[in-house]
Chains A and B, each alone.
Chain A
Amino acid sequence: MLAYIGRRALLAIFTVWAISVLSFAIIQLPPGDYVTSYIAQMASMGSVVTDEEAQNLRILYGLGQPIYVQYLKWMRLIAQGNFGMSMEWRRPVTEVIGERFWLTVVVSVASLFLTWVLALPIGIYSAVRQYSVGDYVGTFVGFIGLAVPNFLLALVLLYLGFTLFNAHIGGLFSPELQDAPWSMARVWDLLKHLPIPALILGLAGTAQQIRIMRANLLDELRKPYVVTARSKGLTEIDLILKYPVRLALNPFASTIGYTLPYIVSGSIIVSLVLGLPTVGPLLLKALIAQDMFLAGTIVLLLGVMTVIGTLVSDILLVWVDPRIRIEET
């Protein structure tokens, strides 16, 4: 079991490294180097960067040196918690991202949670009552969820909310609490706004999980041990929840690793449509303004967050599925 977790952790470290290289590439892609654009930006604002200051920045980021040196210097700065300056906001990147990052985490985790809470009972129901009306409705909604890209779904819901209920369903906070400091009222407000974005983000994943759960459970239900248990007089609900569901749950758990990157990915674009104060809109703005440190940092943080989430789900899987524990030891 330890060997298994160790291997997953090693892979996670490699993934983080790959993501950091890609983020660095994104920072490097636009023409011109950071200091030159910084000076130009400052000049357009009417302030002047002294030669000495510019020289210090050049040394800090290793400009003019080979690309791998620049990468290493950047990594070292990040390890010290210095993500660079956002050119557009003229503030440290960490300050600009701040709360938005945690809200992204909250939205992603909420929709992952919702995916499970919805998919589990619906999947079980669809399998146990195969070909019932409920099963067909579930399958149909599932197909819609898979086929409709989530940002279009967000757009349609936004439109319906606007025209039918004259309510703005976007955002994560009510206008009066938008910039308020954290308090119980604000947390409660967040919780009230969370379900709709979480549902939109999680729908595709939910649809997939329902299909997986249904198929797995159907396989299990045909096995002889179910008949045995039933003939011994176990009540139907005990029987289903205690044995086949637990077995069907395993492949279900292993798909989190693929669901999470999907949700994080989707959260960017859905946030833009719904106007959520996550890192999504910030990333788009940074990319358009070529504010590369901000953009690169956001890509890096999103990647690392996904990797950590996946690692947690891997560890959860070992805990849920004894077969992996035995196989690996």
Chain B
Amino acid sequence: MATPDVALGAPSAPLPGAGLADVSKQRIFVASQWQLMWWRFRKHKVAVASALVVIGFYLVVVGADFLAYADPNASEAQRSLMPPQRVHLLDGWRFSPYVYAVKGARDLQSFKRVYRPDPSEKVPVRFFAKGFEYRFLGLIPTTRHLIGVDGGRDASKTIFLLGTDVQGRDLWSRLMYGTRISLTIGLVGVTMSLVLGVVLGGLSGFYGGVADTLIQRIIEILRSIPTIPLWMGLAAALPREWSILQVYFAITIIISLLAWTELARVVRGRFLSLREEDFVVSARLVGCSQMRIIFVHMVPSFMSHIIAATTLALPAMIVSETALSFLGLGLRPPAMSWGVLLQQAQNVQTVAISPWLMLPAVPVIVVVMAFNFLGDGLRDAADPYGR
């Protein structure tokens, strides 16, 4: 074990005095690997903040239908391309959020629908309002949503936090559901890549020899092929009549087929460095089976590295799905993902008139950044004895 760094594990600011330093030193000696990692991770403030952002996004995945307030598939020609409505939080000095009622009319010169807020009519925003029916967590049937307005189908009494799309569907609610798909597709895909990466990387690193050479060459070949054209080709071959679920899994498989190389590289590297460690050699000498050596002795000691590498692989997955769906080759409507939502923003003329259609790009960027910082922090923390 490397010499412990006193500042590393100190729970509070190290105070002068030998006695206290000794206590914290002892804490380091007896701390488990995961505890050391946690102490180290905690010092990386940006990574901790990113972890919170990521958790927040996954809470949206769980509670998408609760956070949405309009049926994401309900289209309404009367509400086509409505800009985001401003929510006024204070009515006078009292906290009572409201929006102005919106009047829509067709501009007789440009034939576009124009919307004007009507300041004379305030529509109160209610919390835990009734809306469309859904099952919370997939179990409890309910109609309560975080926010909502009493307006029924009255086209003027609405709330559109992020505006509406061409078909008059609420962008906020669609974004909530899109988050669900985009973020889970990343998880499913990364799990598949992980399985491929760990098996192939493990084979390569543990056995070496011909298997190693072969797998390394395959990885090199895969890494030198431009991925997007290949993905496009494979995705375009999916039968048009497949259901959303089938396409969802097919896309995940296509993406993970080419994305496991980095994970395999990490796993192989760890296997190579651990193979000759004393504890592995002694395990081999006392006659442990190979399975036991791998899964009981080796895997736990580089688990943290795998987690870090997985976190760094996730954003690439999410971006790939977004890119494919954006091109119209990935998920297709009525499925909702960030890429599908961004399809509407392909045309610059449309975007210039209704810039809010570009808003689904914001969560993509935020999530990718958060995962990158989180992965960086985890990677540093994964080696608590380093430095």
Query: Which residue, A23, A151, A296, A302, has most C-beta atoms of chain B within 10 A?
Result: A151
Report the minimum CB–CB distance from B280 to chain A (whole Å): 29
Which residues of B are found within 8 Å of A29, using beta-carbon distances? 233-234, 237
Contact status B217-A151, CB under 8 Å: no
Contact status A15-B224, CB under 8 Å: yes
Contact status B221-A11, CB under 8 Å: yes
Nearest A-chain residue to B366, judged by Cβ? A147
Which residues of B are found within 8 Å of A156, using beta-carbon distances? 358, 361
Does A247 reach chain B (CB closer than 8 Å)? no
**Interface on chain B toward A: helix, strand, loop, or mixed SS?**
helix
Does B10 reach chain A (CB closer than 8 Å)? no
Contact status B348-A11, CB under 8 Å: no
Contact status B229-A268, CB under 8 Å: yes
Contact status A149-B322, CB under 8 Å: yes
Contact status B226-A303, CB under 8 Å: yes
- Which of A22, A149, A268 sits near B232, CB closer than 8 Å? A268
Interface residues of B in 199-243 (CB under 8 A from A): 217, 220-221, 223-230, 232-234, 236-237, 239
Does B171 reach chain A (CB closer than 8 Å)? no
Contact status B327-A269, CB under 8 Å: yes
Contact status B352-A163, CB under 8 Å: yes
Nearest A-chain residue to B327, judged by Cβ? A284
Roughly how many angstroms separate A303 CA and B229 CA in the complex, as a whole number? 9
Does B345 reach chain A (CB closer than 8 Å)? yes
Roughly how many angstroms separate A159 CA and B228 CA in the complex, as a whole number? 24
Roughly how many angstroms separate A264 CA and B224 CA in the complex, as a whole number? 11
Contact status B225-A19, CB under 8 Å: yes
Which residues of A are found within 8 Å of B364, using beta-carbon distances? 149, 152
In this complex, the interface size class of chain B, counting residues with CB under 8 Å from chain A, is 35 or more
Roughly how many angstroms separate A265 CA and B224 CA in the complex, as a whole number? 11
Roughly how many angstroms separate A272 CA and B361 CA in the complex, as a whole number? 17
Interface residues of A in 266-291 (CB under 8 A from B): 266, 268-269, 272-273, 283-284, 287-288, 290
Report the minimum CB–CB distance from B167 to chain A (whole Å): 21
Which residues of A are found within 8 Å of B227, using beta-carbon distances? 261, 265
Roughly how many angstroms separate A257 CA and B364 CA in the complex, as a whole number? 27
Contact status B217-A14, CB under 8 Å: yes
**A306 with B225, Cβ < 8 A, contacts A149-B322, A156-B358, A159-B348 known:** yes
Interface residues of B in 329-348 (CB under 8 A from A): 329, 342, 345-346, 348
**A296 with B323, Cβ < 8 A, contacts A19-B225, A258-B223, A306-B225 known:** no
Roughly how many angstroms separate A18 CA and B258 CA in the complex, as a whole number? 13
Contact status A299-B361, CB under 8 Å: no
- Which of B323, B342, B372 sits near A146, CB closer than 8 Å? B372
Which residues of A are found within 8 Å of B220, using beta-carbon distances? 11, 15
Report the minimum CB–CB distance from A294 to chain B (whole Å): 11
Interface residues of A in 238-275 (CB under 8 A from B): 257-258, 261-262, 264-266, 268-269, 272-273
Contact status A299-B233, CB under 8 Å: yes
Nearest A-chain residue to B237, judged by Cβ? A29
Contact status B233-A265, CB under 8 Å: no
Nearest B-chain residue to A152, judged by Cβ? B361
Nearest B-chain residue to A168, judged by Cβ? B348
Roughly how many angstroms separate A306 CA and B358 CA in the complex, as a whole number? 32
**A149 with B229, Cβ < 8 A, contacts A155-B358, A273-B346, A287-B236 known:** no
Roughly how many angstroms separate A295 CA and B327 CA in the complex, as a whole number? 15
Report the minimum CB–CB distance from A15 to chain B (whole Å): 5
Roughly how many angstroms separate A265 CA and B322 CA in the complex, as a whole number? 14
Report the minimum CB–CB distance from A210 to chain B (whole Å): 15
**A155 with B345, Cβ < 8 A, contacts A11-B217, A146-B372, A149-B323 known:** yes
Nearest A-chain residue to B367, judged by Cβ? A147
Roughly how many angstroms separate A162 CA and B354 CA in the complex, as a whole number? 13
Roughly how many angstroms separate A283 CA and B361 CA in the complex, as a whole number? 24
Contact status A287-B226, CB under 8 Å: no
- Which of B221, B345, B369 sits near A15, CB closer than 8 Å? B221
Roughly how many angstroms separate A149 CA and B342 CA in the complex, as a whole number? 13
Contact status A261-B361, CB under 8 Å: no
Nearest B-chain residue to A261, judged by Cβ? B226
Nearest A-chain residue to B238, judged by Cβ? A29
Which residues of A are found within 8 Å of B228, using beta-carbon distances? 265-266, 268-269
- Which of B217, B224, B319, B329 sits near A287, CB closer than 8 Å? B329
Which residues of A are found within 8 Å of B326, using beta-carbon distances? 151, 269
Contact status B348-A26, CB under 8 Å: no
Roughly how many angstroms separate A118 CA and B233 CA in the complex, as a whole number? 33
Does A216 reach chain B (CB closer than 8 Å)? no
Does A298 reach chain B (CB closer than 8 Å)? yes
Contact status A295-B365, CB under 8 Å: no
Contact status B221-A14, CB under 8 Å: yes
Name 30 A/B residue pairs within 8 A (Cβ), A-sorted. Answer: A22-B225, A22-B233, A26-B230, A26-B233, A26-B234, A29-B233, A143-B369, A143-B372, A147-B369, A148-B365, A149-B322, A152-B342, A152-B365, A155-B348, A158-B351, A159-B358, A257-B224, A261-B224, A261-B225, A265-B227, A265-B228, A266-B228, A268-B228, A269-B327, A272-B327, A273-B346, A284-B232, A287-B233, A299-B233, A303-B225
Interface residues of B (CB under 8 A from A): 217, 220-221, 223-230, 232-234, 236-237, 239, 315, 319, 322-323, 326-329, 342, 345-346, 348, 351-352, 355, 358, 361, 364-365, 368-369, 372
Q: Which 9 A-B pairs have the closest CB atoms?
A: A29-B237, A287-B236, A26-B233, A265-B226, A265-B228, A147-B369, A264-B226, A261-B226, A15-B221
